[in-house]
Structures are given as structure tokens and as C-alpha cells.
């Protein structure tokens, strides 16, 4: 008798027979999906299916009819290559993911891509694939839950925010360094509603995991301050259930469960080997597996008993969700302002009132670094934007990102400043998790040169279109004495290459306030603010309205004829003004533009080339000039830096590298000479 036939008459939602039938169902759904695509990773789904079933059927608080229910538990498949398991779970539990989508696994236009993608598939909480990102995102989700609970819950409404975050991770997640950063932070913050299930199958692509890693994972996480649990048999439903129950009962520290599994469990001749990690089982092995499990030959088979069990569970979940919605409605009625400040389930935007434009008048007369002006703008905005929270990678005093409201601490999550520690990569990924969670608007900061440490997570911010705000200071060779290791050369350009990332480099205090206004209102994706260490003068009249529309503003112009345009970003704008003075001494009249948002300028030029005067332009930036050449026309010149810096006082380093007002003036002369002679002037790299 087949397993399906033996249990089809069961009426209880969960019995040992239903458990085994459901686990087998998940295994075959995943294996069939991978086989249909002739591509994918069946090993993890076959090995981890029991843990996934126990979690989803007994412990995960979720409602398939409302995947975006704000107080649902979050499940993160950090080992995103095992996506077929997640899709099988979503299908079996009644989410909007029919069998036809499983059959289109990894195909163009399907809702079952090779790795889970946020915003594409109902029930997928975050984009995973790059290993370790999901685990770190989950730390952000768990942190957001605690911070929102501290803000929203009270004696009358005790559980407006009351959910958990669950992670399924693999060897690769734990080997990647970001897992150390994120887990250390989670332990320090005491995120007791976070549980990581480690699928310990001892297999990587190249063979057994111990070829490259012999870590004691339990000791490692215990050292972070986590509760640790070991389950020696990944097929033992009762032991898995007991471990997950212990995790739920512990609310003071996060929990790490080491679950010993067999990769490719049930696949004849393949289980326990690296062969089953990233390749389909093959028709012969899959057929043999069906025979061994007495499973029907039709692909994507789900027994009626499993459907009935998950339907009953969904009905129970819907009742829980409906009760929460009633409680939530009462909370909104009692606390309308709180509900407006922290809209559960979505990222809140800034107040409609223009807070920052009036600030430009207060700071426009000062000569200050744009990092200092950024701190002023942030602290002007923060009282009116309660959801704005964040911190730095141990650099708040240098990045000027401290805000009033206290620190976020273990057991006291009502503060606004998060001490991410010297963990740039985890900081960015945690902010992504906070952002996709909803309810808060995160920002983080570090030196620009250390953007390299967080770039994979910043890329995920852009890929998921999350409105995370990145504050990068110490933006050029003017960092000076710290030398070439701390002087960013290629970094601004490399950030501009990331699709969907808004990169703003203000030239003075007024523009910095405008940059914060743009960043706070940009809910379509991440924003990077690129800020100076050194003081800069105020330029122009402080009016910055043009920047949002065209990406630039005119900071110096003449009512009469202009011969050449000097266009720069950031600190180089004031250098261009000095160059304009030198040109004026020789009766050459220059207009000076501050290009705070180069990509917006480029878009504008493609639509309307006449937005700039029909004159030669010298484009100036203290960094790699490659991207500026895409904006420049044949008769233009580009002044930049195509080498690493030097150790010494910032102005001396700039002069040594040829980034001076006189060099800019000479470039302008060359443009004018070439234009008059009908020649093309090549770019100038200092």
C-alpha cells in the first residue's frame, strides 16, 4: 500500500503519518522542480524537509491568505540555493504559488527563480542567494521587531508587535564572514526572538565541509551569547519539534540549532555526496526514489491528506490573524499618531512638511565640512521623523550620525542609535532586514573607503529597492595623513555603477541639507550621501531646488557672455570657483556648476542637451574619471585622479597629484584652444 493511500482518510491536522507524508511531499516537489528545470539544488531540500515541515506546521505564525500580515513570523531561507524547498512549502501551505509555477522553476518570467527574490513571490521575505546575507537580514528583522515592540506595545495593547524570526542556514552561510558579524551583533543585543537552524550536512560543492572548515559551530555561537541546541537526527520530527519549542521559550537570547542532516536524503546513490548539492537527481535516480517511497509517477503530486492538513492549519492561522487585526484596529484608534509614525508592514516616509530647506539659511554662511552639515540636517530632521533610526560602524563621532533618543541596548530597544560596531558588512545587511520588515527607516554610516566592506549588502539594497540611507564620509584624497589606504579614489564611481542607487555628493552645507531631503523622500531605493572630512565654503546663494530636477545647480555665473563651463562635484566645486578666478584674470569668463547628482544630470542631458550652454565643459572630481567621460562631449575635458593617493596633509596631496585650481584653468584653456582649432581635447587624468 502506498503512503498516500494509507493516510488519505486521516482527519487530524497533524499525526505521525501526516508528518511523514508531508515531508515526502516536500521532497518530491523540490526534486521534481529541479528536474523539470534540469538545473538547481535538490540536496538541501531533500535533507532539510523534515525541519522545514515541523517549523511551518507547528511553530511559524503565518497566514497564506495574507502573506504581508505585519505581525507574521518571518522565515528566511538564508541558504537560498535551496529555493525549491521554499517554493514547495509555499505551494503546500496554500500560498499563491500553483504547481504550474513549480513546473516553471528557474525559467524566465516565473515566480520560482533560482534564488528567492523579494517582491516577486508571495511569502518570500527577502532576496537570498549570496550566502550569509539572509542570516544578517534576519538579524535586522529581529531587531526591527524588538524596536517596534518597544515603541508600539503598552499595557493595554501588549502584543501589537509580537512575532519571531526563523532562519534556515547552511555551511556556506556560516563560513562567510558576514555571519560572524551579524551573529555577534545579535548576541550582544539579546535578540531572543531569533532562531537559526543550521542544516549541518557536512557537504559543500567541493566535497565534505571539513576539507575547509572544522569549526565547532555550537561553541562559536555560544561565545556570541546564543542559546545552542544540537539535534543529531535531521529526520527525528519529535526532536526537531522539541528544539524549536525550546527556542520559542527563550526570549532573552537568540537560539542556534545545529541540525545534523543528510544531503540528498532518499536519493539512491547520491545521498550524502556533493553530487546532489547543485545538480538534478536525473531521471533514473528520481524514478528509483519514487519506487523506494512508493510515490506516484506524476510530477508535483500533493496527496489530499496533506492538502487537508495544511488547509486546517491555514484556517487556524487566519483566526489568529483576524484577531490581531481587530486588536490592531483598536490600537490605531487609541494611538493614531503612533500608528502614523510607525506604519507596521511598510517603510514610513518623511513628514510632508519641508524641514530641511529652511535649515539652509541657518548654515549657509558657515564654512564647515559636509559631514558636519549632514549631522545638523539629520538632527533637524530626526525629531519630525520618529521612524528614522540608525548609527555607524563605530564612527559616529567622525560621521556625525548621532541623534537624540538614546541607544538601542539589550532589553531596552526604545532608543534610536544603533551601535553596529566595526561590522560594515553586517550593518548594511541588518539595515536591509530592518527595511524589508517595515515600520522603521534605517540609516548607517562609515568612511567611504570602507564601502568596499559592505558592497555586497548595498547591492542587495538596490536589488530589493530598499530605501536604506548610507552616509559615507571622508570622501577623497583630502583625508590626507591617513594615506592611500584611507583615500577613496575609485569608490564614488563604483557606487554610481550600481543600478538603482542614488549617489549624492554635496558641495557645501546648503546642498547637504538638500541631499538629506532627497534621501529621506526617496522610497524607491537606497541613497548614498558622499561627504567631506574637510571644511568647505558656502557657494552661491544657497538655493538648491534645481538639483532634484536636473542634478546640478549654478553656483557662479555672469550676466554677460560665458566662455567655458566648469562642472564639479563635492569639494572640487570650490576648487572650480578658484579656477574661475584665475581664468577671469586672463579675461576668460567661466560659469561654475555643482553637480551633486551626476546620474540625474546625465538623464537630463539625454532628454534635453540644451540644459547646458553650448560651450566647452571641464568636468572635475577627485576620483576615477571614467564615468565623467560618458557625460563629456568631444570638446570637453575631464580632470580626475587615476592613481592611488599619498600620505600627507590633504591640500599637499591634492597639489602633488595635480588637482589644483591652476590645473583646472589650464584644462579650460586647452578646451578653448582645441575648440577654436577644431580639435578634440582628450581627458586629463591628474
Binding-site annotation: residue ranges for Mg(2+): 171, 201, 203
Residue 98 DSSP SS3: coil
Residue 227 main-chain phi, psi, to 5 deg: -70, 135
Termini Cα distance of the chain: 80
Q: Which residues are annotated as a binding site for thiamine diphosphate?
A: 81, 129-131, 172, 201, 277, 450
DSSP letter for 611, please. Answer: G
Task: Report the relative pairing of strands 368-369 and 535-536 from DSSP bridges.
Answer: antiparallel
Give CA–CA dist 681/683, Å, rounded. Answer: 7
Helix and strand numbers (H, E) in the chain are 26, 21
For 123: left if phi > 0, alpha if psi spans -120 to 50, otherwise beta; the answer is: left
Is residue 28 a contact partner of residue 277, using CB atoms and an 8 Å limit? no
Q: Which of 101, 424, 511, 681 is catalytic?
A: 424
Is residue 445 a contact partner of residue 399, using CB atoms and an 8 Å limit? yes
Is residue 489 a contact partner of residue 641, using CB atoms and an 8 Å limit? yes
Give CA–CA dist 564/561, Å, rounded. Answer: 10
Q: Cell digits for 680?
A: 578634440
Instruction: Give the DSSP H/E element, type plus range, for residue 642.
Output: none
Residue 621 main-chain phi, psi, to 5 deg: -160, 140
Q: Which residues are annotated as a binding site for substrate?
A: 41, 277, 371, 398, 474, 482, 486, 533
CA distances from 618 to 319, 376, 437, 637 (A): 66, 32, 45, 5
Q: Where are the alpha helices (DSSP H) in 38-164?
A: 43-54, 83-92, 99-102, 133-152
DSSP letter for 412, please. Answer: B
Give CA–CA dist 127/432, Å, rounded. Answer: 10
Instruction: Select from 96, 49, 97, 39 the least CA-distant residue to 77.
Output: 49
Rg for the chain, CA atoms, rounded = 28
Q: Catalytic residue at 646?
A: no
Is residue 255 a contact partner of residue 190, using CB atoms and an 8 Å limit? no
Q: Which residues are annotated as a binding site?
A: 41, 81, 129-131, 171-172, 201, 203, 277, 371, 398, 450, 474, 482, 486, 533
Is residue 169 a contact partner of residue 199, using CB atoms and an 8 Å limit? yes
Is residue 110 a contact partner of residue 201, using CB atoms and an 8 Å limit? no
CB atoms within 10 A of CB 556: 17
Give CA–CA dist 622/176, Å, rounded. Answer: 33
* Residues labelled catalytic: 424
Amino acid at each position: 500500500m502506498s503512503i498516500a493511500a494509507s493516510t488519505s482518510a486521516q482527519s487530524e491536522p497533524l499525526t505521525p503519518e501526516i508528518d511523514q507524508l508531508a515531508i515526502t511531499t516536500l521532497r518530491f516537489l523540490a526534486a521534481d522542480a529541479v528536474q523539470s528545470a534540469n538545473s538547481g539544488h535538490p540536496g538541501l531540500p531533500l535533507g532539510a524537509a523534515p525541519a522545514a515541515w515541523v517549523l511551518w506546521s507547528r511553530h511559524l505564525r503565518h497566514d497564506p491568505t495574507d502573506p504581508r500580515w505585519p505581525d507574521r513570523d518571518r522565515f528566511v531561507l538564508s541558504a537560498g540555493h535551496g529555493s525549491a524547498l521554499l517554493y514547495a512549502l509555499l505551494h503546500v501551505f496554500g500560498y499563491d504559488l500553483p504547481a504550474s509555477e513549480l513546473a516553471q522553476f528557474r525559467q524566465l518570467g516565473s515566480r520560482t527563480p533560482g534564488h528567492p527574490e523579494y517582491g516577486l513571490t508571495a511569502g518570500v521575505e527577502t532576496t537570498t542567494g549570496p550566502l550569509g546575507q539572509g542570516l544578517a537580514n534576519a538579524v535586522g528583522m529581529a531587531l526591527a521587531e524588538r524596536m517596534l515592540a518597544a515603541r508600539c506595545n503598552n499595557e493595554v495593547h501588549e502584543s501589537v508587535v509580537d512575532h519571531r524570526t526563523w532562519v534556515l542556514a547552511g555551511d556556506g552561510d556560516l563560513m562567510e564572514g558576514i555571519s560572524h558579524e551579524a551573529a555577534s551583533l545579535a548576541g550582544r543585543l539579546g535578540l531572543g526572538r531569533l532562531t537559526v537552524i543550521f542544516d549541518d550536512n557536512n557537504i559543500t560543492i567541493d566535497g565534505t565541509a571539513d576539507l575547509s572548515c572544522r569549526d565547532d559551530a555550537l561553541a562559536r555561537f555560544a561565545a556570541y551569547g546564543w542559546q545552542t541546541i544540537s539535534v543529531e537526527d535531521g529526520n527525528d520530527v519529535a526532536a526537531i519539534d522539541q528544539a524549536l519549542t525550546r527556542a520559542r521559550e527563550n526570549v532573552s537570547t537568540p537560539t542556534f540549532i545545529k541540525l545534523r542532516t543528510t544531503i540528498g536524503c532518499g536519493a539512491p546513490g547520491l545521498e550524502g555526496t556533493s553530487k546532489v548539492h547543485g545538480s538534478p537527481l536525473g531521471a533514473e535516480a528520481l524514478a528509483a526514489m519514487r519506487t523506494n517511497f512508493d510515490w506516484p509517477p506524476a510530477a508535483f503530486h500533493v496527496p489530499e491528506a496533506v492538502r487537508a492538513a495544511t488547509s486546517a492549519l491555514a484556517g487556524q492561522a487566519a483566526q489568529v490573524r483576524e484577531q490581531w487585526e481587530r486588536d490592531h484596529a483598536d490600537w490605531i484608534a487609541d494611538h493614531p499618531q503612533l500608528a502614523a509614525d510607525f506604519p507596521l508592514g511598510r517603510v514610513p516616509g518623511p513628514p510632508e512638511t519641508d524641514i530641511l530647506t529652511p535649515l539652509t539659511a541657518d548654515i549657509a554662511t558657515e564654512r564647515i565640512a559636509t559631514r558636519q552639515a549632514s549631522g545638523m540636517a539629520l538632527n533637524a530632521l530626526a525629531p519630525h521623523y520618529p521612524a528614522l533610526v540608525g548609527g555607524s560602524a563605530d564612527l559616529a563621532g567622525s560621521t556625525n550620525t548621532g541623534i537624540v533618543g538614546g541607544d538601542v541596548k539589550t532589553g531596552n530597544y526604545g532608543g534610536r542609535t544603533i551601535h553596529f560596531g566595526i561590522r560594515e558588512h553586517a550593518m548594511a545587511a541588518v539595515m536591509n532586514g530592518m527595511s524589508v520588515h517595515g515600520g522603521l527607516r534605517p540609516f548607517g554610516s562609515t568612511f567611504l573607503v570602507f564601502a568596499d566592506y559592505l558592497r555586497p549588502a548595498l547591492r542587495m539594497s538596490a536589488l530589493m529597492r530598499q530605501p536604506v540611507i548610507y552616509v559615507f564620509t571622508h570622501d577623497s584624497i583630502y583625508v590626507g595623513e591617513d594615506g592611500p589606504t584611507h583615500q577613496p579614489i575609485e569608490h564614488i564611481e563604483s557606487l554610481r555603477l550600481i543600478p538603482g542607487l542614488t549617489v549624492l555628493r554635496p558641495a557645501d552645507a546648503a546642498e547637504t541639507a538638500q541631499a538629506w531631503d532627497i534621501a529621506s523622500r526617496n522610497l524607491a531605493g537606497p541613497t548614498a550621501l558622499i561627504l567631506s572630512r574637510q571644511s568647505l565654503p558656502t557657494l552661491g546663494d544657497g538655493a538648491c531646488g534645481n538639483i532634484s530636477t536636473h542634478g546640478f545647480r549654478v553656483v557662479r555665473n555672469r550676466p554677460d557672455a560665458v566662455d567655458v563651463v566648469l562642472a564639479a562635484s563635492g569639494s572640487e566645486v570650490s576648487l572650480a570657483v578658484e579656477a574661475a578666478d584665475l581664468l577671469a584674470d586672463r579675461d576668460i569668463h567661466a560659469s561654475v556648476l555643482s553637480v551633486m547628482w551626476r546620474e540625474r544630470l546625465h538623464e537630463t542631458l539625454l532628454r534635453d542637451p540644451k540644459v547646458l550652454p553650448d560651450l566647452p565643459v571641464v568636468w572635475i572630481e577627485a576620483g576615477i574619471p571614467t564615468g565623467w567621460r560618458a557625460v563629456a562631449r568631444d570638446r570637453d575635458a575631464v580632470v580626475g585622479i587615476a592613481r592611488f593617493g599619498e600620505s600627507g596633509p590633504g591640500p599637499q596631496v591634492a597639489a602633488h597629484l595635480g588637482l589644483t585650481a591652476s590645473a583646472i584653468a589650464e584644462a579650460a584653456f586647452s578646451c578653448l584652444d582645441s575648440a577654436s582649432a577644431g580639435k578634440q581635447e582628450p581627458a586629463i587624468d591628474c
